[in-house]
Structure 1
Amino acid sequence: MSKKNKGIFAKIKSAYVECHEDCEVPYPIVEFIKKDNIPMVVIGQRYSHYYRIVPLEEAADDDKILAGLSPRDVQNLSMYTLFLELQRRYELDTVEYHQSDEKYFNFKDKKTDSFIQLTTEGILNNPDIFNKIKDGDQFKVGFLCGDKNKSEDKSKGRESNNKKMH
């Protein structure tokens, strides 16, 4: 046999092993869904019409469920869990300007479908919230918050210059 044939046989064997691993698992993942804003996993039973719907966190933490899944399903489950954790949670709804020169930002919390109202200081003091704002909205909020800080720095600079002159 030539080296070329050994390569083909090795590829066929690895494809068979991979297919066999996927076909021998008792519980394949059918799909990922959201029910009442809670991520869920639909897990089927091979060669049966039975399935069960499990919350994503429970499926990722339960060793019995993970043992019944194929390596590919475990990988998909962990990647989907990571994707949900990294997904932006807050979306800018409105910006309110008040006479006191204060800005109020209204954010929609996509996880709980509620609204949060924060001032500029509230956002600057909460980097955790700022990091979970949608990218385009993050730019707008950063621009408006930076605009306020820039004007405060200028006024402090003017005060110190006036003190130096007198």
Structure 2
Amino acid sequence: MSTLTPRLQRQLSELLGVQQQQNRWHGALPVLLLDRCWLQLQRVGVEDLARVLPPDSSGEAPELVRFRELRQRGVDHLDAQERCWEEFGRESCSLALRRFWEAQERGHHGWTFSAYLHLLERYRHLIEADGPSPIPLLVLARSSSLEHHQLQWCWP
């Protein structure tokens, strides 16, 4: 990985060596977070990832999930909205939508609940598969940018 300094490359090599002894899924498996601005590589246990880098789950509110389900079934936009108001209440639907848009405005650098679950699913699959075991590396977006965090896999 070309963005790593020699010191960070040594850290990564050491972790990859230890990782090769892993063949079962557990919460202490490492996830690496690279802060490019400070050239810092942070090791976080997979069990602590959501606490250290909370994914945005505002789009997973039941009101919004139901609305999307109705729309995918071909229900008209206004009819879907009215059904959601009936099921969840108008205030609850408005609050879910407001939280979603506030999260969009704040920005989450693409680190959503589904991205988080995808990382966990893929990591578990790779650890339990035969062969070398990689370590996920999240290259963090700069805080003031619109770019997304980039998930990379570091292989031995």
When normalised by structure 1's length, the TM-score is 0.27
Please say which structure displays the higher CA radius of gyration.
Answer: 1
Structure number with the higher strand fraction is 1
TM-score (norm 2): 0.28
